[in-house]
Structure 1
Amino acid sequence: MQRRSDEQGQALLDALLEGRPQEPGLAARAAAALGLPEQGRYTVVVFRAGGCGPADLSTAADGMRFFRRTRADCEILVVALADHDPAGLAPLLARWCPGPGGIGPPVDGLAELGAARRLADVALLTCPPGTAGIVRLEERLPAALVASQPELSARLLADVFGPLLALDPADRALLVRTLDAWLECGGSAGRAAGRLYCHRNTVLNRLRRLEQLTARSLSQPRELVEMMLALYAFELSAPL
């Protein structure tokens, strides 16, 4: 009877995660079967297949409860947050899960798990190929916008970085790394130079070359936004 109850709870959880048109009482029945509040704080984490680590992932830790579901192409965790800050979830999961993984925003009830799962899928899309780590959607919103629109992303990349993409791969990677470091350092060429182990003037020369290749100025806000979004599109399609 306990096994049958567990299987029923898992099936109901799957229905909620898939965002099916909800039959009356679905969330309430899932809450009863899983021993969870129907209204409460939940989030969903999606990992690429194999990214969630061993099958003995703890079902409870630091006051949170975890429900793991496995798919052919991904692994899903439903997390009952209770009163815990979701910002602490990624380092907690890193004990078991190397990633890559995407964490959706918190929702206020089991009935919203389908939406949380879709947004967790988008968060996962912001993890470039070949990388690990677990990221929160709230920390990746610009990249998520790019990743969720692949057709527009490809057009943006070709339009902004077209001449750059035609360069020798090593030369292209050097310029892209310089732009990324400069942005990460808040537009400081000096700090970017320290990160890249080169002279400040070298950074400035590389940025000027980027401006020439892209026909865009890093000092113009609108054009800078285009460069940043194109950088996200490049990193998500072809990691350095």
Structure 2
Amino acid sequence: MRQRSDEQGRAMLDALLEGRSEPGLAGHAARCLGLPERGRYAVAVLRPGGPAGVAMEAEGLRFLRRRRADREVVVVALGDQDPAVLAALLVRWCPGPGGIGPVADGLVGLGAALRLAETALLTCPPGTTEIVRLEERLPTALVASQPELSARLVAEVFGPLLALDPADRTLLVRTLEAWLECGGSAGRAAGRLYCHRNTVLNRLRRLERLTSRSLSRPRELVEMMLALDAFRLTAPQP
């Protein structure tokens, strides 16, 4: 009877993850799984690692793991914990890459949380092993969720850049990344890149000429940043 109840609970959890909304489904699933119907939940999507259907607890969180195709879905009852605690645990336990959706209010929100966790996963560039939260990647998630528009954005903004020698292109892209990560400080970016501040400024001016966009104009800067995100999501890793 316990095995049958567990199987029913897993089947209903799958139905909730699929976004089904039959009357009474969430309540029945809550009783079978021993979870609150109305509570704070998070959903993570990861590379498979370990047997499917395992339940475990740590740091005041309860985890339910389900295998779906080439992904592992982790449903987490957060209680009053911050989702950042979940992210830190998954980094230690699971092979990345992975994406974590926003907090769902109750079991009925698991389907939407799963879709957004999958979107968060799309923001991880090829070859990376990071586990990210959607809230930390919203602009990149917009780009990643529209691949056709993203490709056009890269072609429109970075077209001349793509025609450069790969080593030259990589140098300019890394300089732009460092400058953005350093809050627009050429001096700090130079320290990160092990070069002179004037070298950073010269590379950025060259980038502006190639793209016909100015990093000092907010709208054009936004275009450059989104194009950079789209480029990183599709560019092969060195």
After TM superposition, the score normalised by the length of structure 2 is 0.96
Q: Which residue of 2 aligns with 1:203?
A: 200
Aligned partners of 1:18, 1:171: CA distance in 2, in Å? 46
Aligned partners of 1:133, 1:217: CA distance in 2, in Å? 31
CA contact (8 A) 2:125 2:233 kept: yes
Structure 1 outlier segments of 4+, above 6 Å = none
Query: SS of 2:102's equivalent?
Result: coil
Aligned partners of 2:133, 2:58: CA distance in 1, in Å? 19
C-alpha displacement of 1:87: 1.4
Q: Which residue of 1 aligns with 2:9?
A: 9
Aligned partners of 1:168, 1:147: CA distance in 2, in Å? 26
Deviations, residues 51-87 of structure 1 (Å, cap 9, x unaligned) = xx33497710000000000012211000000000111
Query: SS of 2:44's equivalent?
Result: strand
The number of residues matched between the two structures is 236
CA contact (8 A) 2:99 2:132 kept: yes
After TM superposition, the score normalised by the length of structure 1 is 0.96
* Structure 2 unmatched ranges of 5 or more: none
Aligned partners of 2:91, 2:24: CA distance in 1, in Å? 35
Match for 2:187 among 181, 186, 190?
190
Query: SS of 2:159's equivalent?
Result: helix
Task: Say which is worse superposed, 91-100 or 77-86, in terms of deviation.
Answer: 91-100
CA RMSD of aligned residues (A): 1.2
Q: 1:16-165 maps to which residues of 2 (within 5 A)? A: 16-20=16-20, 22-48=21-47, 50=48, 53-55=49-51, 59-165=56-162
The 1:140/1:239 distance shift into structure 2, 3 A limit, reads: farther
Aligned partners of 2:134, 2:29: CA distance in 1, in Å? 26
| Matched letter for residue 42 of structure 1 | Y
Identical columns (%) = 77
Aligned partners of 1:98, 1:194: CA distance in 2, in Å? 32
* Structure 1 unmatched ranges of 5 or more: none
